[in-house]
Copies of this chain bind each other. A is one copy, B any other.
């Protein structure tokens, strides 16, 4: 991804995550190799960060440390983090985006705190009342976008509609699709299935003036088959589905590992197929898809897995670069502008 028109640096919460600051700094270094020209603002404890930077002179040249002694604990309650969080590495990194000093922020810290602070500092985009967490998921055809993955626990039909608008922009930006296929996650593909709220959301998506390519309801098994490019769901269901998929992939890795260490012939086979097995492992590597965006906010905020290592964190940085380089928020704002004359409540009434 060209970073040439990203003149601003990226803001990193160098103290967030289980492996901070090491994984953050080494992840930033990997990201610099991948995106030459990228610049970094590193928020956190200078005494902890500087020795790591000294070992990576290339990164040291591209980075600036903004010192703070304070950071948000991984188990802090979001409400507490919000009240007392000013001056923490997370807060300052988000604030750099707000102040126009960075094109986006990445943190591997406390998810709830990151969401709460991002909402407070970056505000939601015009017309969006609830941001969502969006991320990529592998499919037999490539990748799809799923949202919401847990920013919200319950959602209205209107929320789901806006998630589709934002997911559409995300897929256009990150997957390079012209007109992404959009599906609404349900327990059956038939129109009669599911909650009333889902049926209402389907009505809204069928009657949009922005011409979304809405394909109706999809079921859980359709996601990995790549039936649609954007999967829209409430945050509870999305979170459970994604984690269930991660757990299933881990289960299967356990089976495969067991199969290929079962005896000398299996081990020989594993050796012969090692490149191919590595390929499968690579495709399943969750770290590759690390980096979930808080879509709907007035700035790009990306959450990395808390347990991210350097490779994983580097990928979260890459997602942020892609989202910024493809102007995801401008895309969302344009769509929302087209929708501004549309009264969702009226649409629901008309079609009831």
User: Which A residues form the contact surface with B (CB < 8 A)?
Assistant: 77, 138-140, 150, 153-154, 185, 187, 192, 194-195, 219-225, 233, 235-237, 239-252, 254-256, 259-260, 262, 265-266, 268-270, 272-273, 276-277, 279-280, 283-284
Contact = CB atoms under 8 A, between A and B. Distances in A.
Contacts of A266: 272-273, 276
B250 A262 contact: no
A138 B251 contact: yes
Given A138-B251, A249-B252, A255-B284, 7 more contacts: A221-B246, A236-B237, A241-B244, A256-B256, A259-B273, A262-B276, A266-B276
A190 to B, nearest CB: 8
Given A235-B187, A240-B241, A259 B280 contact: yes
Given A195-B153, A221-B246, A240 B276 contact: no
B252 A280 contact: yes
Contact of A225 (B187, B239, B247): B247
Given A252-B249, A256-B280, A284-B252, A240 B185 contact: yes
A250 B233 CA distance: 22
How many copies of this kind of chain does the complex include?
Answer: 2
Nearest to A233: B240
A248 B245 contact: yes
Nearest to A153: B195
B259 A244 contact: no
A244 B256 contact: no
A156 to B, nearest CB: 15
**Nearest 7 Cβ contacts at the A-B interface:** A220-B243, A269-B273, A220-B244, A221-B247, A259-B276, A224-B247, A269-B272
Nearest to A254: B140
A273 B244 CA distance: 28
A150 B187 contact: yes
A2 to B, nearest CB: 30
Looking at chain A's contact residues, the main secondary structure is: helix
A135 to B, nearest CB: 14
A140 B253 CA distance: 10
A222 B250 CA distance: 10
A281 to B, nearest CB: 9
A146 B251 CA distance: 16
A200 to B, nearest CB: 14
Contacts of A283: 255
Contacts of A252: 249, 252, 280, 284
A260 to B, nearest CB: 6
A260 B274 CA distance: 10
Of listed A139, A233, A235, A255, residue having the most chain B CB within 10 A: A255
Contacts of A268: 272
